[in-house]
Structure 1
């Protein structure tokens, strides 16, 4: 990464959504604390400050209506939770019963989806803070928490009303930057010095990342009634950009070759180098487009006048004259794919729209609500040990119960609530995530303690220490959604400096912070063996789901373009991508589990890579303008379905061997691609055989 690139990254971080949100949140939290301390009301300062601090963590990127719903839920749950817990604090055993029940109940909020799951988690943290602060006036403190929550969300909603599409613009920016990174990886496939297996793994990781960005854009845009209104020009522009983004990524992913064969075929001459150079130029143009796409204005860009791009393209065209027919076919296909990418980039860059007739057809056929990832709403279905949500809720409740039993045996401390706070934060349903969170929290906490101690040793002024705690709070918010370790590294000294300046006894604060954090982490890790959720036991199901999604995608792709149902086609494509992402996440989680030594990860990665390649080739069939259903060889399709479905193949159904790169006539491109998929599907059956049991 060059100096300019590093400088641009730093600049866009400070001008981007993460830092600006962090600055706004920090001011919103600190302002009432300063005001009420100045007015001589420290109880109100603490209550309103804590209310604003904790409720800010429920405020994820979203549209206006969803933010308002989140605000109402968060404020109501926080107020009631604070009131109930603070009212029973004088009765130790009743407090334990209430908080343990709260741990179970709030964890079950996950049944209702990600947003309410987060509200439930933060409500549990409200419980821990209430225990730590031990307010003398429950109703007064609960009202302060309520005021802090209302104050924070009023500011947040005002910002959303003034800039309703800010989060969506940022999501599009991140998606374009991830797509550019993916294109850089694609370019290295034509570099003979780079091992292909490493490239494959990197491409799959980025594939998952880009699909996560697509999901965020869908949920931000398609759930926004104002943006989806046909009479809203800005909303329609963003809808068009989102559609083009997904089309762009499909073009980036569509032409997937046997790159080993491509390298061997084009080994002589400059074709490989020229193709790699052209793809790198396109990747850089995507990065430039990403940095300007937050604006609704058209962006001229550099591609249309990029001398280097056109010079290399001319050189590649000249190189075509020296190639044989097989080599020329490969290069022409790559050039056609790059032409499609350039066309979509220019449409995004110029805020161009699809032709009005085509847009009306799309608007009339696409049922956008179908593409929003739904949440589960049936609690009854999850009141069973078969449910991962129920198992985790029960486990966390038991952890809290054990935490109370443990703290009762230790010397009384006003900071014992940090044990429960650690449990809420690091205990996750899956072992792998719990382990990762433990390491992140321990590294961040230990590093933060060192920073805090150095600050206390060097600075004696409480005012200066408190000023630094505000800066550390800003750092916490800036990195909270980016890097949990760094966010903990910031919040730990913020807590030490604030509590130490207000209450004194820095040594006691540091001792308790370290001790209760370690205890919480140890309990959380050992508790994962209680009602565990192992991804290693889900691998068979994940492989089957990914294969089924690919089969369905293939069945849709081989239909005539005129006969395809637009909703069914797009959903099949989306489900194929999401199923592969789910499999990839399960594999990475299984690598962290105790049973990892008994798992054939090489075989798993081979299966993952094959499904990725299969989906990419299916996409090229789906996007091909020359595809006709008559070109489809039923024997090849049956072989693919049998192999991916892990079914036996009859000898008389075996498909003839076809050279996947050797078909010369473009009319036979579908048959060529199906032959390539058939070969991959045989490898899939071989590598996946050991996972079916």
Structure 2
């Protein structure tokens, strides 16, 4: 229970909770204030505007949040006027639903924030379509909703001005904590009692989470001028600490060993468990550091790592004495663990007074973020069945008009717009996410409905009920981006209490909400499966190709280092970022594929093998590259360069099989090395062993890739 209690406690310091609190205040206050002056309807309209624009207020740099909210305010205002004019006639309303759901769903071509802007406009249409507004009042109703939009915009700006660095601190703290979890999972590889297959699955899933957090931090830190300009101590610390966490993550991924043989050799010595426990302690310390940054509180180191390292060294030496067994690999692990501890301790600079030196933060960070163009040509170019966004927008539009026709044909309930809302927000571009959201929506609605009814049966005091509703409202908006099931569990009782306070029969509302949810989910699920379905297996080649090409570029950095060239730090970090992003994309695609129907999957066992081999490959490449970066540039033995060239040839052949263009052009020739030139130093021999292993992994990766691109279905 203690870890759960700790997570709940620190949830209240998260960016998600801050966003939920801000959204609740912005939506609730207008209705409360205006209801006091007997103007509840006007207050509800203003609150509606705030609600719709809040969807565009996703985490990110303030300039993007600002532009997103302003675009959302304009679209919400326009669609509100159009809906008020069209709602008097079912045919005109049907046409508006068909066109607007398609148009705003196409906003996906411009990225996540633009998609949220479109969702806000669709939500405004759905929530106003059943409201009969007399023609003379249509404009005034639209203006009230626009006022609500601008009210939310001003509240969001005000929160940012008061604490301009808090969003960056929170997301950086969360990023460090996801890396700490990754490190804790990595510690399990040294524990002979864990299942290696499960360890790899957990590690791959956590790598996806780490990549998502790192992207979120990049967006906020590197696109916020006030932070990246390094004009303040806080801004410099945030940037420097994030850069160091990326290096730390590389060190964690670079420590790869043959864990199966490692366990077999040292299983009975007890030393592997001690290594695992020590790394767990380091992960705990890193987690505490992340919490301190997230909470914006002082940090105090809990473990004496130097003392523990000395004890671990003694244990490893003792292992070497037993029966004359070699402990070279254990000593290598000790060196890596010591470097890992040093990296973690360097992060403590964040908590020191003053700003880091200018020389430590001179890297041009603009290269590490992507910039989304808003060119209308992108929209027009995607108006084709070849576009996955067009397919998704078509699904949403067809499913929405079907739902609208259904509820009108059968005179379906007093809140039939719930069916349409469920369809729109349950249909996702990926079928796996549509399936997951549908299941979570139904479970959450049923359990949440029972919870809401229970609350209303046992609590009669309206003030207490209002307080519970506010708490549920805050949790609902806090959990919307981190745990959808929990969000729905809060949303349903919140809605039931709201209707109860407005004097509506709760049992009727509960039954109608559950039925509407089931109907909407059924339509959404069917549309996702039958209407222009897009399966992950269809996109596998693209993911595999990008991953292989990223590994090739990563491998090229070894070649540069072995040839004695100075590895350009910016180029290297960009290549490293591409490897991590591509790897996370492959892993995420694999996870999504597993949620799809079995007959739509591509050989899942082989795909899992590819994901694991890919992780082993870039971990070993990282090991060699980091060792070269830590040395003065110098030419190495020709046999090492030859080994890298062979690996490059092999990976190019694999890229060529997948469909990469020009992968075999400008190929470096692989020269034969005279026997007299093959003598190696001890350090070079270690690199040679690593390069030989990389070559074997690439051969295995080639085999799995061939199986994947030639197979049709899962086994």
Q: Which TM-score applies when normalising by structure 2?
A: 0.89
Q: Which secondary structure state, in structure 2, belongs to the residue aligned with residue 293 of structure 1?
A: helix
Equivalent residue pairs, number: 679
In structure 2, distance between residues paired with 1:293 and 1:317:
35
Could you tell me which residue of structure 2 aligns to residue 259 of structure 1? 259
Q: Deviations over 1:138-167 (max 9, x none)?
A: 222222211222222212211111111112
Q: Deviations over 1:213-258 (max 9, x none)?
A: 1111111111011111143332111110110010111111112111
Q: 1:237 to 1:480 in 2, by over 3 A?
A: same
- The answer to whether structure 1 residue 636 and structure 2 residue 643 are counterparts is yes
**Residues 83, 129 of structure 2: 8 Å contact kept:** yes
- The answer to whether structure 1 residue 223 and structure 2 residue 223 are counterparts is yes
Farther off after superposition, 591-600 or 220-229: 591-600
Report matched runs for 1:425-444 at 5 Å. Answer: 425-444=425-444
In structure 1, distance between residues paired with 2:592 and 2:382:
23
Farther off after superposition, 561-570 or 191-200: 561-570
Q: Which secondary structure state, in structure 1, belongs to the residue aligned with residue 501 of structure 2?
A: helix
In structure 2, distance between residues paired with 1:53 and 1:557:
52
In structure 2, distance between residues paired with 1:288 and 1:465:
37
Could you tell me which residue of structure 2 aligns to residue 51 of structure 1? 49
Farther off after superposition, 63-72 or 43-52: 63-72
In structure 2, distance between residues paired with 1:415 and 1:70:
30
Could you tell me which residue of structure 2 aligns to residue 532 of structure 1? 533
In structure 1, distance between residues paired with 2:323 and 2:573:
38
- What is the Cα deviation at residue 105 of structure 1? 0.8
In structure 1, distance between residues paired with 2:540 and 2:472:
41
Q: 1:526 to 1:424 in 2, by over 3 A?
A: same
- The answer to whether structure 1 residue 553 and structure 2 residue 560 are counterparts is no
> Considering only aligned residues, what root-mean-square deviation do their CA atoms show, in Å?
2.8
Could you tell me which residue of structure 2 aligns to residue 342 of structure 1? 341
Q: Deviations over 1:453-498 (max 9, x none)?
A: 2233334455544443223212212322221111111111211221
Q: Which secondary structure state, in structure 1, belongs to the residue aligned with residue 164 of structure 2?
A: coil
Could you tell me which residue of structure 2 aligns to residue 692 of structure 1? 709
- What is the Cα deviation at residue 199 of structure 1? 1.1
- What is the Cα deviation at residue 327 of structure 1? 3.6
Q: Which secondary structure state, in structure 2, belongs to the residue aligned with residue 563 of structure 1?
A: coil
Question: 5+ residue gaps in structure 1?
Answer: 657-662
Could you tell me which residue of structure 2 aligns to residue 247 of structure 1? 247
- What is the Cα deviation at residue 410 of structure 1? 0.9
**Residues 293, 349 of structure 1: 8 Å contact kept:** no
Could you tell me which residue of structure 1 aligns to residue 164 of structure 2? 164
Could you tell me which residue of structure 1 aligns to residue 370 of structure 2? 373
Could you tell me which residue of structure 2 aligns to residue 502 of structure 1? 502
Residue of 602, 609, 614 corresponding to 2:612: 609
In structure 2, distance between residues paired with 1:67 and 1:299:
31
Q: 1:407 to 1:581 in 2, by over 3 A?
A: same
**Residues 536, 593 of structure 1: 8 Å contact kept:** no
Q: 1:669 to 1:512 in 2, by over 3 A?
A: same
**Residues 111, 376 of structure 1: 8 Å contact kept:** no
Could you tell me which residue of structure 2 aligns to residue 660 of structure 1? none
Question: 5+ residue gaps in structure 2?
Answer: 658-663, 674-679, 711-715
Farther off after superposition, 143-152 or 389-398: 143-152
Could you tell me which residue of structure 1 aligns to residue 713 of structure 2? none
Farther off after superposition, 334-343 or 559-568: 559-568
- What is the Cα deviation at residue 112 of structure 1? 1.4
**Residues 132, 414 of structure 1: 8 Å contact kept:** no
**Residues 565, 634 of structure 2: 8 Å contact kept:** no
Could you tell me which residue of structure 1 aligns to residue 513 of structure 2? 513
In structure 1, distance between residues paired with 2:635 and 2:108:
44
**Residues 549, 575 of structure 1: 8 Å contact kept:** yes
Could you tell me which residue of structure 2 aligns to residue 668 of structure 1? 685
Could you tell me which residue of structure 2 aligns to residue 398 of structure 1? 398
Q: 1:224 to 1:629 in 2, by over 3 A?
A: farther
- The answer to whether structure 1 residue 619 and structure 2 residue 622 are counterparts is yes
- What is the Cα deviation at residue 388 of structure 1? 0.6
Report matched runs for 1:3-402 at 5 Å. Answer: 3=2, 5-136=3-134, 137-267=137-267, 269-294=269-294, 299-303=299-303, 305-306=304-305, 309-310=308-309, 312-316=311-315, 318-319=317-318, 322=321, 327-351=326-350, 360=359, 363=362, 366-375=363-372, 377=374, 378-402=378-402
Report matched runs for 1:580-595 at 5 Å. Answer: 580-595=583-598
Q: Which secondary structure state, in structure 1, belongs to the residue aligned with residue 327 of structure 2?
A: helix
In structure 2, distance between residues paired with 1:598 and 1:423:
25
In structure 2, distance between residues paired with 1:182 and 1:336:
20
Farther off after superposition, 234-243 or 275-284: 275-284
Q: Deviations over 1:148-199 (max 9, x none)?
A: 2222221221111111111211111112211111121122111112121111
In structure 2, distance between residues paired with 1:188 and 1:469:
43
In structure 2, distance between residues paired with 1:98 and 1:257:
60
- The answer to whether structure 1 residue 565 and structure 2 residue 577 are counterparts is no
In structure 2, distance between residues paired with 1:591 and 1:629:
46
